[in-house]
Amino acid sequence: MRLLAAQYLLVAIACLPGSSCAPASDQAKSSSNCRRTQVAILGAGVAGITAAQTLSNASITDFLIIDRNDYIGGRVKHTTFGNNHQGSPYVVELGANWIQGLGSAGGPENPIWTMGKKYGLNNTSSNYDSILTYDETGEKNYTHLLDEWADKYEVAEDNAGRILSENLQDTNARAGFSLAGWKPRKNMHAQAVEWWSWDWETAYPPEASSFEFGIAGSNLTFNQFSDQNNFVWDQRGFNTFVIGEASTFLSSTHDPRLLLDTVVRGVNYSDHGVTVELEDGSCIEADHAICTFSLGVLQNEVVNFQPRLPLWKREAIELFQMGTYTKVFMQFNETFWDPNTQYFLYADPTTRGYYPVWQSLSTPGFLEGSNIIFATVVGSESYRIEQQSDQKTKDECLAVLKAMFPNITIPEVEAFTYPRWSQEEWAFGSYSNWPTGMTLEKHQNLRANVNRLWFAGEATSAEYFGFLHGAWFEGQNVAMRITSLLKGDKNPNRNATSGFMKHYDPLHGTTSIKEYNLENGWPVSSFLDYAANE
C-alpha cells in the first residue's frame, strides 16, 4: 500500500508546471541500492530539526536527518570550561548565546523565546548600560559617545526606512551613518563605540554591510519582538531546546531517522528527486532534500552538487557574506574587574576591533563568582586570531587587560579556550550578513529551491538572517512547502507556504545599455564598438 501511494505521488509531482515531466519510473530504476526516504534533511541544526518537526506535525514521518557532528544543534554548541569551586567544569556557549528579541504582551513572540520558556533555560537579560569604557591608558569615560551614536542612529533608521519604502538605491552602512552625521574616523573611542553598536551584531564593518537591510533586519527582530537580548547560561547547554524539540518526534537519539557522525559529500538533484552521497560511499534517495548547511559550507564547495548549481544560485551564494564571531574565554583565580559590571569596552589606539568587548560571566545573574571573562572579536580579527596559536592570542589578551587595568597585577590565566569557526569544515564561519549590492530578489535566489533540492537556514531568512529564529522560520517554511507537494496538491499555488519557490533569472541592474552615453560621462558609444576597434 505504501509503495503504491509513493508511486502515485511521484507521478503527480513529476508533472508539476515547470518540471520536465519525465516518467517517474526513470528514478525508480536509477538508484536501486540507495536507502530510500521521502525527505532527506541535511543538517541537524535549528533549521533541520524544525523542518523535520514541521513534516512530522503534518504526519509526514518518512524522513532522514543527516549531520556530520555527533550532536544535535549545529551552531548552538557548548563546551566544558574551567572549574567551579567544587572542581567540576562550567559549560560555556561557543556559538549562539542570546535569545534576541523576545516578544511583548499581545505582540508576536520569537519562537526561540517560546522554547526558552518551555525548557526553562537559565538566562539573564543583557544590560547594555552596565558598561565601563577603556583605552590603552586604562579606564576612560567615553560613554557620551554611546549617546551620540544613539542620536545619529535614529536619523539613520529613518533614512534606511525611506530607502526601503520609496524604492531608493541602497548604500553601505558607512555612507548611511556618515550621512546621518556619524563620522568616527578620527577618534578611536568613537570607533570602539561603533564596533559595539554595529560590528558586534553583524560581524562585518559598516563598509561591508547593506544599510537598508542591516537596519531593516535589526528593526524586524528588535522592534517586532522586543528590544531585549537574553543571555543563556544554562549548564545543560543552550541546545537543550533543540534536543528537546527533536525528542518530540524522534523516539530517542538512536531513532534510525537520525544519522549523526555522517558526512554528506555529494547531492545529485533533478525534477524527479535527489540522491545524497555519503562519505562512506553509501547513498540516500529522496523525493526532496533540504540542505541546511551554512552559507560558509556552500561557499567553500564542501559538497559536490550534480549538476552544478545554476548561476543565479551561485551568484547569490557568493555575494551573501559569512561572518565570523569569536569568543575568547578566560578563567582567573579571582575577579579583578568590577564584579557588578556586565561589559567592558576597550578602544585600542591603532586597531579598530582589537579585543573590543569583554564580557564578565562572574557577574550576578550569570555564572556568578566563576572568575570567567570572555573577549569577542569578529571579522578580520577573527580570521587573524583563528589562524594563530592559543599562546599568541592569550598573550595579546593579557596585554590588553594590562592596558585596561594598569594598577592591577593580572593573575595567571587558569583556563583558556576559543573556537575556530572560520576553519570548521561544517560551518566555515559563524553567521551571515547582508552585503551592499544584494537586493531582495537576489537574496530570494539564495532561498529558492533548485528542482527538488531546497535550502533553509539562518542565511536564507530575508528578515532574520544571522539569528536562531531565522533558521527556525526557514526550516518551517521549506517543510510546509514540501508538505504541500507531497500531499499531492496537483496545482499548488506558489504562495508564502506552499509550492516551489520563486527565483529571478536573470536579475537586471538599473542602467540600460543606452544610458552608457556622453551625458553620463561614458563617451565611448558602447562596449561592443570599443571591442570592435581593437
Ligand X SMILES: *[C@@H]1O[C@H](CO)[C@@H](O)[C@H](O)[C@H]1NC(C)=O
Ligand Y SMILES: Cc1cc2nc3c(=O)[nH]c(=O)nc-3n(C[C@H](O)[C@H](O)[C@H](O)COP(=O)(O)OP(=O)(O)OC[C@H]3O[C@@H](n4cnc5c(N)ncnc54)[C@H](O)[C@@H]3O)c2cc1C
Q: Which does 526 bind (CB under 5 to 8 A by kind): ligand X, ligand Y, none?
A: none
Annotated binding residue 303: no
Contact of 99 with 123, CB cutoff 8 Å: yes
Alpha-carbon span 448 to 317, nearest angstrom: 11
Instruction: Using the minimum distance from each CB to ligand Y, give the nearer residue, 103 or 470.
Output: 470
Give the nearest distance from C-beta 158 to ligand X in angstroms: 5
Alpha-carbon span 351 to 349, nearest angstrom: 6
Separation of CA 284 from chain center: 27
Q: Does 371 bind ligand X (CB under 6 A)?
A: no
Q: Does 412 bind ligand X (CB under 6 A)?
A: yes
Instruction: Using the minimum distance from each CB to ligand X, give the nearer residue, 334 or 515.
Output: 334
Neighbours of 425 (CB within 10 A): 11
Hey, which residues between 187 and 226 contact ligand X (CB under 6 A)? 212, 215-216, 219, 223
Q: Does 141 bind ligand X (CB under 6 A)?
A: yes
For ligand X, which residue has the nearest CB? 161
Contact of 325 with 421, CB cutoff 8 Å: yes
CA count, 13 A, side-chain hemisphere, 191: 18
Hey, which residues between 458 and 477 contact ligand X (CB under 6 A)? 476
Q: Which does 74 bind (CB under 5 to 8 A by kind): ligand X, ligand Y, none?
A: ligand Y
Question: How is 327-384 classified by DSSP, letter by letter?
Answer: EEEEE-SS--S-TT-SEEEEE-SS-TTSS-EEEESSSTTSSTT--EEEEEEEHHHHHH
Neighbours of 16 (CB within 10 A): 16
- Binding piece for ligand X, criterion CB under 6 A, among 36-44, 139-147, 188-196, 511-519: 139-147
Q: Count residues contacting ligand X (CB under 6 A)?
A: 51
Cell numbers 567551579: residue: 84
DSSP class of residue 9 equals H
Q: Does 158 bind ligand X (CB under 6 A)?
A: yes
Instruction: Using the minimum distance from each CB to ligand Y, give the nearer residue, 140 or 420.
Output: 420
Q: Which residues make up the interface to ligand Y (CB under 6 A)? A: 43-48, 66-69, 74-76, 95-98, 100, 263-264, 292-294, 297, 302-303, 325, 421, 426-427, 430-431, 457-458, 467-468, 470-471
Alpha-carbon span 238 to 115, nearest angstrom: 11
Q: Does 61 bind ligand X (CB under 6 A)?
A: no
Nearest to 292 by CA among 267, 327, 311, 326: 267
Q: Is the dihedral of CA 523, 525, 530, 531 positive or negative?
A: positive
Give the nearest distance from C-beta 235 to ligand Y in angstroms: 17
Alpha-carbon span 425 to 118, nearest angstrom: 32
* Residue numbers at the binding site for ligand X (CB under 6 A): 31, 50, 53-54, 57, 116-117, 120, 122-124, 132, 138-139, 141, 143-144, 157-158, 160-161, 164, 212, 215-216, 219, 223, 234-236, 266, 268, 275, 277, 283, 306, 333-334, 406-407, 411-412, 476, 484, 489, 492-493, 495-498
